[in-house]
Amino acid sequence: MPERIQPEQLAAYERVTDDASDGPWEATGDDHGSDGIEYGVWSPRSVQNGEYIAELITSEQPEADSVFIATARTAMPKLIAEVKEIHATACSLAEQIRRVREQHPREENASGPVCGGCVNAYEEPSAWPCPTIRALDGGEPGA
Ligand SMILES: [Zn+2]
């Protein structure tokens, strides 16, 4: 599993994304004949000024790298927003699961471990783990 992005790192990614020139950026190659092909990345404003955002002259893969740079300008804000949304959803779900688990505590009685939150068809405490806890733990509730 890859290392998780920490909030400080995400904030740093957001800052550099916000500070960069407005997008979308476009990657282009200019063929200079025997002098080779020059790859560049343009923004809407840099095109007006006739200047590149980035000019790739030393890269081993100038075409692929210029496309990557241009794509990053559009992708980074979307990925940052998606990561924030997924994180908020995960935190919300974790809190909901915590509250459900609180309602189904493991307790001990004469017959062994039981759920302190629910009963079976005979109005007796459900055997541990109860269907709710089994479902939360990834098992089949009725198994
Ligand atoms: Zn239960």
Distance in Å, CA 107 to ligand 1 centroid: 10
**Residues 103-123 as b or e (16 or more Cβ within 10 Å = b):** ebeeeeeeeeebbbbeeeeee
Q: Name the token pair of 126.
A: 């459900």
Rounded percentage of the chain residues whose pLDDT exceeds 70: 99
Domain co-membership, 110 together with 95 = no
Q: Tens of pLDDT along 18-27?
A: 999 999 999 9
Domain co-membership, 11 together with 31 = yes
8 A C-beta contact, residue 26 and residue 58: no
Domain co-membership, 120 together with 54 = no
Q: Residue for token digits 């733990």?
A: 137
Residue type, 10: L
User: How much is the pLDDT for 143?
Assistant: 57
Distance in Å, CA 90 to ligand 1 centroid: 23
**Global pTM value:** 0.76
Q: Can you tell me the mean pLDDT for 60-84?
A: 95
Domain co-membership, 53 together with 21 = yes
CA distance 35 to 62: 14
Distance in Å, CA 138 to ligand 1 centroid: 15
Distance in Å, CA 132 to ligand 1 centroid: 5
What residue numbers bound the domain in which 123 lies?
A: 106-136
Domain co-membership, 82 together with 37 = yes
DSSP letter at 22?
P
Q: For the chain, how big is the Rg over CA atoms in Å?
A: 28
